[in-house]
Amino acid sequence: MHNESARITLAAELYITVFAAAASAAAYAALSIFGTRGTVCITASAAVFFVITAVSLVYAPLFGRSVKHSLNGRILSVSYGVLVKYSVSIDFTRVVYITRIRGPFEKITGASVLEFSFPGGCVFMPVGSDSAAEGYISRWKQRTL
Amino acid sequence: METTHPVTVIRKIYKKAALLLIPAVRGAYHMISDGTYGFSDWMSGVWLDAAVLAAAVIFSILNWRSVKYSVSPGRIILKKGVLFKSERILPEKRITSVTCHRPLLFGMLGAESVYADTEGGSTKRSDMSIIIRSSRTRDFYTSPRSGKTYRPRVHEVLLLSLCVTDTPASAVYAFILMNRAGKILGRDIITEFISLAAGAARYAAAVVLAVEILGILRNFLYFSRFSVTRYGDSLYFENGFFSKTRSMCKTGAVNYIDRRQNLASAVLGLGMVFIQCTGYGKARKKEALLVPAAAERSAEACIKMLLPEFCGRTENCGAKAGAHCLRPAAVSFLRYVRTPVALCVPVIIACISVPHFAEVILLILTPPLALLAAVRATAFRRAGIFSEGCEISEKTEGCEKTEARIKSKDVMLTLCYYKGFSIHTVSFRASKISHVKIKQNIMSRNKNIYDVTVYTCGEGGHRHTVRGLDIDREDPQAYITSFPFLQGVFF
């Protein structure tokens, strides 16, 4: 099993931090609309930011560590998730096409997400390194193209 | 890597920006033409709208610049995304259908939309959707050099347009009905309100009729100049009067063909033939047409010419061969007609409780209920599951050979069933079956009557349910799965 948890953890933490900033701004705006005093608005929005960030400090490493993927013969196995575990095995020869998705934080950390589309659905697989992603793509190309 | 056509920018923003652009331009025109106010006054009022508009335009331009594609032997690579970049690799041999669509505006600008689809991906969106220069479409779509071509006659396309438009007859019927209702209500119930309502209803019906006629015209223009060509292992479609659409789909990706009839076309002996091929028709959200309204015999001839893999209907042979044919039990007739019969009850109650409106209620509800009952009765006569194997046994080979043939995975099945106001006769290879479900409701528990649902492959799966089949066995699941034509699927 590959495990590039550190990079995935960092990317997840960065995304949750952005989410925390957006949530705190929304909280500030909502409290301001209802006429709450300025200091209370700032305190509440800061609290929202710190609570979400603190949760991310626990959640992101757990999520990063939970990501596991392997290709044994024809079977691609992917599993991840903290509260809800997601685990799937698919026949790699049935994969019709692959999409590689990289957001701004994936570019910084070197992680990426591979989307394997096959008849009947698709599987998203977080991958911790470029080489691992390239490895999957090249193996798929060898079998398909 | 190639870039897409600049018209992509307009396509991306026109829906978002049109709402802002029109009032902004209108306001500017009034302010400047009035002369009292200047540009700064106008800007002070619309700066937020202008900022949003500018952001939308900038984002669309960035989005357009980010979309890049390359076509190399064996694969297509598509890159897109501003913040979230994605790179998709589509193997050429996995592409099941390609559609090139050129609306009138695109034609003037030298642009064309290209949609490519595979067996994977979303059921709603194409796997690749780009707007490129018309000269570049040959990278994705090449017209057939030869092959057998079928071009329907104009009247066949017109009949098809009438059938696929949401029941134009209903609009005519609504118009007549409202006219008559106005008269009835105006004479019998002398209240100003009802008279007014009846008068208004007449105009409403006229509007509905106009909309329906526009719908027919739109469908007629869409399907006009329709042609299908079989060349190699692909089907090539062309249609459209103003907007040209060219499609290619691989015959191996055709999951099933659907011969569809409503009551009117059944009476006239006409049939429309549609196909289900992954991607074909998805881009334009239109029915995947193969043969427009044509006489049953000529429709079969067209299928034989274009898709010989799917030719041969097996209804009659199935009845003779017995074991490879399932038909509804005689007692299932009640199941087929119970819905229209059950719907008659509230109609009768309504007529009794509001006698003044009885004539209107009967006028409104009787024709659709009668139509539904007629469709169900016709469907009962035709319904069943039939397999190709028995046809072979009848005509040429003995029983042993038949068994050998039908054990192969490529046996063709034909299911005939009703859905709504239409009767569907669907043919597909057994290898296209995803799974089979058998259901028995509490009312038919002692009668060995089952509903059999066959799910076929394709994006999202497709369901075909034949109701009320007579399976006189202790274990129907085992019996169904032991069917020779399903052995390749289950074992």
Same domain, B289 and B409: no
Instruction: Report residue A22's pLDDT band, with 50, 70 and 90 as the boundaries.
Output: very high
Question: Quick one: how far is CA B22 from the chain centroid?
Answer: 35
Residue of A nearest to B93 (CA): A145
B110 domain residue, yes or no: yes
A68-A73-A79 Cα angle (round to 5): 20
B210 domain residue, yes or no: no
Residue of B nearest to A138 (CA): B89
Same domain, B22 and B101: no
Burial label for A129, CB within 10 Å (0-12, 13-18, 19+), is middle
Query: What is the separation, in whole angstroms, between the first and last Cα of chain B?
Result: 47
Closest CA to B64 of B9, B109, B117, B131: B9
pLDDT for B6 beyond 50: yes
Q: Which residue has the higher pLDDT, B470 or B163?
A: B470
B216 domain residue, yes or no: no
Q: To the nearest whole angstrom, how far is the Cα of B436 from the nearest Cα of chain A?
A: 16
Instruction: Report residue B392's pLDDT band, with 50, 70 and 90 as the boundaries.
Output: very low
For residue A34, the tally of other CB atoms under 10 A from its CB is 7
The answer to whether the CB atoms of B83 and A101 lie below 8 A apart is no
Whole-number Å distance between alpha carbons of B415 and B255: 14
**B488, B407 in Cβ contact below 8 A?**
yes
Contacts of B296 (CB under 8 A, 6+ apart): B269, B270, B271
Q: According to the model, what pLDDT value does residue B174 have?
A: 57
B29 domain residue, yes or no: yes
Whole-number Å distance between alpha carbons of B131 and B110: 10
Same domain, B131 and B43: no
For B84, the closest of A98, A101, A120 (CB atoms) is: A101
Q: According to the model, what pLDDT value does residue B57 have?
A: 84
Q: To the nearest whole angstrom, how far is the Cα of A80 from the nearest Cα of chain B?
A: 21
Instruction: Report residue B393's pLDDT band, with 50, 70 and 90 as the boundaries.
Output: very low
Domains in chain A: boundaries:
5-64, 67-144
Q: According to the model, what pLDDT value does residue B51 have?
A: 82
Q: According to the model, what pLDDT value does residue A28 have?
A: 92
From residue A83, how far is each of A123, B203, B242 by CA, in Å?
A: 19, 59, 55
Q: Amino acid identity, residue A126?
A: P
Q: According to the model, what pLDDT value does residue B15 have?
A: 65
pLDDT for B372 beyond 50: yes
Supply the DSSP string of B71-139, one letter for each residue: EETTEEEEEE-SSSEEEEEEEGGGEEEEEEEE-HHHHHHTEEEEEEEESSS-SSS-SEEEEEEGGGGGG
Reading the block at residue B134, the tokens are 């018309």
Instruction: Report residue B477's pLDDT band, with 50, 70 and 90 as the boundaries.
Output: low
Average pLDDT for A80-107: 88
B238 domain residue, yes or no: yes
**B293, B156 in Cβ contact below 8 A?**
yes
CATH fold of A67-144 = PH-domain like (2.30.29)
pLDDT for B388 beyond 80: no
A-contacting residues of B 117-146, CB under 8 Å? Answer: 118-121, 127
Chain B CB contacts of A11 below 8 Å = none
Average pLDDT for A9-19: 91
In terms of average pLDDT, the best of B1-5, B159-163, B164-168, B443-447 is B1-5
Whole-number Å distance between alpha carbons of A93 and B328: 41
> What is the C-alpha radius of gyration for chain B, rounded to an integer number of angstroms?
28
Three-class DSSP labels, A19-32: HHHHHHHHHHHHHH
Burial code (b: 16+ CB inside 10 Å, e: under 16) for B71-83 equals beeebbebebeee
Residue of A nearest to B119 (CA): A119
Same domain, B60 and B95: no
pLDDT for B120 beyond 50: yes
pLDDT for B136 beyond 90: no
Same domain, B424 and B368: yes
Same domain, B44 and B119: no
Residue of A nearest to B76 (CA): A97
Whole-number Å distance between alpha carbons of B83 and B65: 12
Same domain, B103 and B12: no
ipTM of the complex: 0.82
Phi and psi at residue B442, in whole multiples of 5°? -65, -30
**Is B88 an interface residue toward A (CB < 8 Å)?**
yes
Q: According to the model, what pLDDT value does residue A39 have?
A: 86
Q: According to the model, what pLDDT value does residue A24 have?
A: 94
Burial label for B108, CB within 10 Å (0-12, 13-18, 19+), is exposed
Instruction: Summarize pLDDT for B61-90 with one digit per residue, the tens.
Output: 888 888 999 988 888 999 998 889 999 999
B170 domain residue, yes or no: no
- In B151-253, where do the E strands start and end? 227-231, 234-239, 244-250
Percent of chain A with pLDDT over 70: 97
Q: Amino acid identity, residue B280?
A: Y
Same domain, B405 and B460: yes
Q: To the nearest whole angstrom, how far is the Cα of A117 from the nearest Cα of chain B?
A: 5
Percent of chain B with pLDDT over 90: 3
Of B302, B330, B353, which residue sits at a domain end?
B302
- What SS3 state is found at B241? coil
The answer to whether the CB atoms of B121 and A117 lie below 8 A apart is yes
For A97, the closest of B84, B94, B459 (CB atoms) is: B94
Q: To the nearest whole angstrom, how far is the Cα of B479 from the nearest Cα of chain A?
A: 28
Same domain, B262 and B325: no
Q: According to the model, what pLDDT value does residue B479 have?
A: 62
Instruction: Report residue B202's pLDDT band, with 50, 70 and 90 as the boundaries.
Output: low
Q: To the nearest whole angstrom, how far is the Cα of A96 from the nearest Cα of chain B?
A: 6
Chain A CB contacts of B459 below 8 Å = 119
Q: To the nearest whole angstrom, how far is the Cα of B91 from the nearest Cα of chain A?
A: 6
Of B269, B302, B335, which residue sits at a domain end?
B302
Q: Which range is least confidently modeled, B89-98, B261-270, B425-434? A: B261-270
Reading the block at residue A135, the tokens are 């490895």
Same domain, B19 and B138: no
Q: According to the model, what pLDDT value does residue B165 have?
A: 62
Of B302, B325, B354, which residue sits at a domain end?
B302
Whole-number Å distance between alpha carbons of B176 and B185: 14
Average pLDDT for B259-276: 80
Whole-number Å distance between alpha carbons of B75 and B440: 48
B394 domain residue, yes or no: yes
Residue of B nearest to A118 (CA): B120
The answer to whether the CB atoms of A96 and B87 lie below 8 A apart is no
The answer to whether the CB atoms of A99 and B120 lie below 8 A apart is no
The strand pairing partners of A86, in sequence order, are A80
- Count the domains in chain B: 3
Q: What is the mean pLDDT of chain B?
A: 76
- What SS3 state is found at B38? coil
For A101, the closest of B86, B457, B459 (CB atoms) is: B86
The answer to whether the CB atoms of B75 and A117 lie below 8 A apart is no
Instruction: Report residue B146's pLDDT band, with 50, 70 and 90 as the boundaries.
Output: confident
The answer to whether the CB atoms of A96 and B89 lie below 8 A apart is no
Supply the DSSP string of B194-223, one letter for each residue: HHHHHHHHHHHHHHHHHHHHHHHHHHHHHH
Tell which of B119, B122, B278 to mutate to test the A interface (max A CBs under 10 Å): B119
Q: Amino acid identity, residue B39?
A: F
Interface residues from chain A to B (CB-CB < 8 Å): 95-104, 107, 117-120, 122, 137, 141, 144-145
Report the C-alpha dihedral over residues A42, A45, A51, A52, rounded to 10 degrees: -140
Closest CA to B279 of B128, B88, B102, B136: B128
The answer to whether the CB atoms of B120 and A97 lie below 8 A apart is yes
Instruction: Summarize pLDDT for A31-84 with one digit per residue, the tens.
Output: 888 877 888 889 999 999 999 999 989 999 999 888 888 888 888 888 888 888
Instruction: Report residue B270's pLDDT band, with 50, 70 and 90 as the boundaries.
Output: confident
Q: Which one-letter DSSP state was computed for residue A2? A: B
Whole-number Å distance between alpha carbons of B381 and B369: 19
In terms of average pLDDT, the best of B152-161, B180-189, B294-303 is B294-303
Question: Quick one: how far is CA B41 from the chain centroid?
Answer: 52
Q: Amino acid identity, residue B300?
A: E
Q: To the nearest whole angstrom, how far is the Cα of B432 from the nearest Cα of chain A?
A: 12
Q: To the nearest whole angstrom, how far is the Cα of A98 from the nearest Cα of chain B?
A: 6
Average pLDDT for B7-35: 72
**Is B112 an interface residue toward A (CB < 8 Å)?**
no
Chain A CB contacts of B83 below 8 Å = 103-104
pLDDT for B16 beyond 80: no
Instruction: Report residue B398's pLDDT band, with 50, 70 and 90 as the boundaries.
Output: very low
Residue B276 domain boundaries: 91-152+226-302
**Is B72 an interface residue toward A (CB < 8 Å)?**
no
Same domain, B333 and B245: no
Interchain CB contacts (distance < 8 Å): A and B? 58
Same domain, B417 and B286: no
> Tokens 């594609």 appear where?
B69
Instruction: Report residue B209's pLDDT band, with 50, 70 and 90 as the boundaries.
Output: confident
Average pLDDT for B445-461: 79
